[in-house]
Amino acid sequence: MPLLMVFKNMEQPNPKELVEKIQQLADQFRKPMTDFLSDLIRIQSYTGQEGPAVERTLAELRAIGCDEVWMDSAGNALGRIGSGTRTILFNAHLDTNEVSDASQWPHPPLEPVIEGDTLFGLGASDCKAGVAAIVYGAAILKQLDLLDDVSVVVMGATLEEDAEGFGLRSLVERDGFKPECVLLAEATNLTLRRGHRGRCEVHVRTQGKAVHASTPHLGENAILKMAPVIEKIQNMNGCLPSHPVFGEGSQVVTLINGPHTPNSVPDWCEIAIDRRLVPGETMESIVDGIRAVVEPLGAKANIPVQPVLSHTGLRLDGPSFYPGWLMEENDAVIDIGKATYRALWQKEPVVDVWKFSTDGTYSAGVAKIPTLGFGPQEEPYVHTAQDQVNLNKLVEAAMFYALYPVIYQQITGANLNH
């Protein structure tokens, strides 16, 4: 949709003035946004231990003037701008993956260091820069005061690294919060994302008979029974469901386990399979496909339960299944993303899909809430010792989050009137 049409009926400043105003505010907020991000980096927040980072985010949401600030039962930080009944949810997560070897990092992981326009620190690229940018996108929106029947809720999400979508599921299903659209601020390097593959964990187990290792012929070795099973599972690659955008799914054996008794013939053996899926695959379709291959060899397959405990003490255990999703390229939420991008930077955005999984697995994959991705962080730094974000991109992302709801309101409001 041409930009001028978007703004045709606005009683607000003309688009050029509005973009200039947003740019001005975003520049003003560069310092507090950077300070907030630096504070978040100083606070260690591994999955399930996000309490202090959530508290810090709630304080920032109060400071920017949110009309309502709260923590939901799963311990997500939430702040609302506006009083409209239709809600756009800005989502970025506060938990980070764990540092394996701090000596590999250019600076201590929890020490934010700025060099030129780059800020280094654990979680900068995944996903604390996203949190800082959505909070300040909302801060700009608060100053603009252009929201009418749409309100924006900012979510500093929890539990994403271990069980993406579980924190968001709790907000929607347990606390009854129903957004109309979800904007994910994960790493996209200022391009748009419209989906990603899904993933699923499958456990396969063989049963044997334990005897002393000195008389193996009297027992039944579960590891030996597993060997042909592993080969069959590996050979399924190449015949898994395929998708025009994502290509073919994949699966790989990632763990093997058994009794820890080196002088006994093992009576059980269990492997874990990491399966990457395309949209449309279900728990049933995955487990049935694997059973068809392993059951003739005497093995059993199931999808394990992922144990999830929120920092508020809520148990959110659920199947280790994270469906894939893909929005149509011309879906309204993607079109509005393109219009926002064009209005800000006078060029066409790149629209792509993510390689990794996000909270979108729940919003789009399960709840079917229109979802798109846009973030300042860059994918190559995610989960690496080079974890960093470019501060100019942080400011640009905040501009995007400020303008998106204004255009969303304009376009979807117009659609509703037709």
Q: Which residues belong to the active site?
A: 95, 160
The count of residues in the chain is: 418
Distance in angstroms (rounded) separating the CA atoms of residues 86 and 90: 13
- Contact predicate 328/364, CB 8 Å: no
Distance in angstroms (rounded) separating the CA atoms of residues 356 and 354: 5
Cβ 96 to Zn ion shortest distance, Å? 8
- Closer by beta carbon to Zn ion, 126 or else 281: 126
* Member of 127, 152, 269, 301 binding Zn ion (CB under 5 A): 127
Give burial (CB, 10 Å; 0-12/13-18/19+) of 333. buried
* Binding-residue pattern over the window 195 to 234 for Zn ion, x denoting contact by CB under 5 A: ----------------------------------------
Count each helix (H run) and each strand (E run) in the chain, helices first. 11, 21
Cβ 6 to Zn ion shortest distance, Å? 30
- Closer by beta carbon to Zn ion, 53 or else 147: 53
Residue 164: other Cβ atoms inside 10 A: 23
- Closer by beta carbon to Zn ion, 127 or else 129: 127
- Residue identified by tokens 């393109």 is 338
Helix crossing, 30-42 with 391-417: angle to 10°? 110
- Residue identified by tokens 């799963």 is 74
Partnered with residue 107 across adjacent β-strands are none
Distance, CA of 181 to chain centre: 15
Q: Which stretch binds Zn ion (CB under 5 A): 36-44, 116-124, 125-133, 223-231?
A: 125-133
Partnered with residue 315 across adjacent β-strands are 309
- Residue identified by tokens 């008979």 is 209
* Member of 50, 72, 126, 378 binding Zn ion (CB under 5 A): 126
Cβ 156 to Zn ion shortest distance, Å? 12
Identify the three-state secondary structure at position 281: coil
- Closer by beta carbon to Zn ion, 85 or else 100: 100
Q: Which residues contact 51 (CB under 8 A, 6 or more apart)?
A: 75, 311, 312
Cβ 134 to Zn ion shortest distance, Å? 13
- Closer by beta carbon to Zn ion, 154 or else 294: 154
Identify the three-state secondary structure at position 351: strand
Cβ 127 to Zn ion shortest distance, Å? 4
Q: Which stretch binds Zn ion (CB under 5 A): 3-11, 123-131, 314-322, 327-335?
A: 123-131
Q: Which stretch binds Zn ion (CB under 5 A): 46-54, 127-135, 202-210, 326-334?
A: 127-135
- Closer by beta carbon to Zn ion, 127 or else 372: 127
Cβ 356 to Zn ion shortest distance, Å? 7
* Binding-residue pattern over the window 160 to 199 for Zn ion, x denoting contact by CB under 5 A: --------------------------x-------------
Identify the three-state secondary structure at position 12: coil
- Closer by beta carbon to Zn ion, 126 or else 201: 126
Give burial (CB, 10 Å; 0-12/13-18/19+) of 104. exposed
Q: Is residue 124 involved in binding Zn ion (CB under 5 A)?
A: no
- Contact predicate 234/253, CB 8 Å: yes
Cβ 15 to Zn ion shortest distance, Å? 32
**Site of interaction with Zn ion (CB under 5 A):** 126-127, 186
